[in-house]
Structure 1
């Protein structure tokens, strides 16, 4: 029985429960002999018909002496069942009882989607090296998915005002160019190397936060940037897949994503973070399209034909859709995971994500990687984790002092 049906049954039952017995003598009714009324189990839970409720006497019908009457024990049972059903499905109840299990689920899905995206993304570039076009596919797929979630009310739709749309433009520009440059790096060098360079983003974030907001962190936070820079230097010096294009694009994307994070904070205060990301992606799509005409348009048609001939047209188009879907979903789940934990935990989780991506990408593609590159990557990742942890502690201390 659904929660709605149980609640209606419970409402109907409470009025008869005030009467003394389930077997009632029809006394006091003129012209009618007293007799007993036997109540069947099926009729105890019978709902009034639509006709009965629409009539003038329909709402009073349960109070008539001939109406089936149930015991208080049955009433308590039905009311309890209705409350349990209304509280949610078994999965929701389980997560409510064990919140850490829900958090672990979010992190597990986040890691899985991120690894799937990075591996499939690189596989696409191996037979279709058009990163500017693929960047547009990522965001276009996100537009379709976000619209579906809004239409089905999986995500609550929030209508942006003119002020929000003006503010989101700068964020979208940073996101569009940063995202495209990251994909150029992915197409040029090993996935593991790009992710190692991406650990430098906190360095630019710290500088940008000071220049824009005048915010100063504690000394330990700044010291934690040293192992990040040292690790990237060690890795870059010995990376077998190193190219200046891949390195330069990854570094430029760090600057742009740091700027995006700084300017996004103003947008987060008035809207759900998932919707902020959806609108940023939609506006970013407009800025991602022009570079295609600058860098890839002259050979794009031939490249698509060659890719379809190599792997098959259906696989080619299916891969493009899947890589866009994984990109959007992993970002959305990352936002949901952030809402379940403190920033410190999320920062540490983000480091764990990079370890998973680097490890699985090496296994998937069999990339040759030197011992020095492994050491450099681990140092950089550890430094990024330490930075996130110490920065989170600073935020907690500042919040406690404010209260």
Structure 2
């Protein structure tokens, strides 16, 4: 009876996660069609996460953030905050210029960026099965690209750049979690706090100026006042739901769930937004998604053989498959007091 109860619980959690993720993308596309300001949309999402995630962590009993040196903050936290801004804004530019379904198909290239960047940054090599799994991913994205009816060069570049930013964030968050001994939802909060500080002056010199000088009066669209915060709440809910699933299933099950989530987003966007697609376009999407499944399986098998389960933030960026239960590392008080570095409290950032 307990097995059935746990199964129903996971299925319901995944349904909530997929619904929030699909809603974030579909609502985001509808907003950007009338209100083409990706930086504003990103800033609102960050504001909502910063307002609600702290109390949520306290409610869940997540441990407080430890102290870090200024050197660690500059090397580990600040780049993640800047990368989140660059990746999020670029992702919304891609959705603004292209259909959601095609944008998410391009994001299927994340494993390719992870493999390449891991080698360049950390000289990390993978078994041949991992490299082989990249072939259907690249082939599927190429097929979807050449058959995309609403292709846009700027949208493609933005999607590729966003995918690269998320891949870098995966790599560096892995380093940050290992070095700083942080719960990964706590790290998400700190990253969002840094990103919120960084994005505000950017918003002032880009979207804010355009909104003031724009001839179109967006205040006539009263539904925007509802949809903008609703999009932010969906984004917040997707992060919490993803973490909850992550902490309740195995790495392989989470890999399957992330692939299923991407399929649900693509299908939902096609059904709701009625994007025109061809049979070859759908075939390319299917190839890319299947390639991700092969990649996740090959990567997990590789980690299992080496008896090391990698740790990184995932659905807060995009595609991950790791168990958060491996991430709870206690910090010794002597590690904080015996350092020669000046330390700053991360929790007041």
TM-score, structure 1 as length reference: 0.71
Q: In angstroms, what is the RMSD of aligned CA positions? A: 2.2
Show the counterpart of 1:88.
Answer: none
Q: Judge conservation of contact 1:199–1:228 (CA < 8 Å) in 2.
A: yes
Show the counterpart of 2:54.
Answer: 147
Distance 1:303 1:349, change over 3 A: farther
Show the counterpart of 1:75.
Answer: none
Distance in 1 (alpha carbons) for counterparts of 2:268 and 2:115: 30
Distance in 1 (alpha carbons) for counterparts of 2:215 and 2:28: 16
Show the counterpart of 1:197.
Answer: 106
TM-fit CA distance, 1:400: 7.7
Q: Judge conservation of contact 2:28–2:231 (CA < 8 Å) in 1.
A: yes
Distance in 1 (alpha carbons) for counterparts of 2:215 and 2:182: 39
Show the counterpart of 2:182.
Answer: 271
Say which SS state the counterpart of residue 65 (structure 2) adopts. Answer: coil
Listed as ranges, the gaps of 5+ residues in structure 2 are 310-349
Further displaced range: 106-115 or 156-165: 156-165
Q: Judge conservation of contact 1:231–1:376 (CA < 8 Å) in 2.
A: yes
- 2:234 paired residue among 302, 326, 348: 326
Show the counterpart of 1:223.
Answer: 132
Distance in 1 (alpha carbons) for counterparts of 2:107 and 2:206: 24
TM-fit CA distance, 1:302: 5.4
Higher relative contact order (CA 8 A, sep 6+): 2
Q: Judge conservation of contact 2:45–2:233 (CA < 8 Å) in 1.
A: yes
Q: Judge conservation of contact 1:128–1:304 (CA < 8 Å) in 2.
A: no
TM-fit CA distance, 1:341: 2.0
TM-fit CA distance, 1:308: 2.4
Say which SS state the counterpart of residue 113 (structure 2) adopts. Answer: helix
- Number of residue pairs aligned between Structure 1 and Structure 2: 304
Distance in 1 (alpha carbons) for counterparts of 2:308 and 2:85: 36
Q: How does 1:11-26 map to 2 (within 5 A)?
A: none
Show the counterpart of 1:30.
Answer: none
Show the counterpart of 1:300.
Answer: 211
- 1:351 paired residue among 249, 259, 263: 259
- 1:87-143 CA-to-partner distances (Å, cap 9, x unmatched) read xxxxxxx87883333322321211111011111111111111111111111111111
Q: Judge conservation of contact 1:145–1:325 (CA < 8 Å) in 2.
A: no
TM-score, structure 2 as length reference: 0.81
- 1:234-293 CA-to-partner distances (Å, cap 9, x unmatched) read 111111111111100000111111110001012324121111111111211222233324
Q: Judge conservation of contact 2:65–2:186 (CA < 8 Å) in 1.
A: no
Q: How does 1:388-403 map to 2 (within 5 A)?
A: 388-399=296-307
The yes-or-no answer on 1:285 pairing with 2:218 is: no
The yes-or-no answer on 1:241 pairing with 2:181 is: no
Distance 1:303 1:145, change over 3 A: farther
Q: Judge conservation of contact 2:77–2:176 (CA < 8 Å) in 1.
A: yes
Q: Judge conservation of contact 1:128–1:303 (CA < 8 Å) in 2.
A: no
Q: Judge conservation of contact 1:177–1:253 (CA < 8 Å) in 2.
A: yes
Show the counterpart of 1:175.
Answer: 84
Distance in 2 (alpha carbons) for counterparts of 1:150 and 1:200: 32
Distance in 2 (alpha carbons) for counterparts of 1:183 and 1:223: 30
Larger Rg: 1
TM-fit CA distance, 1:363: 0.8
Distance in 2 (alpha carbons) for counterparts of 1:185 and 1:267: 28
Q: Judge conservation of contact 1:142–1:278 (CA < 8 Å) in 2.
A: yes
- 1:329-383 CA-to-partner distances (Å, cap 9, x unmatched) read 2022212222222222212211111110010101111111111111111111110
The yes-or-no answer on 1:120 pairing with 2:27 is: yes
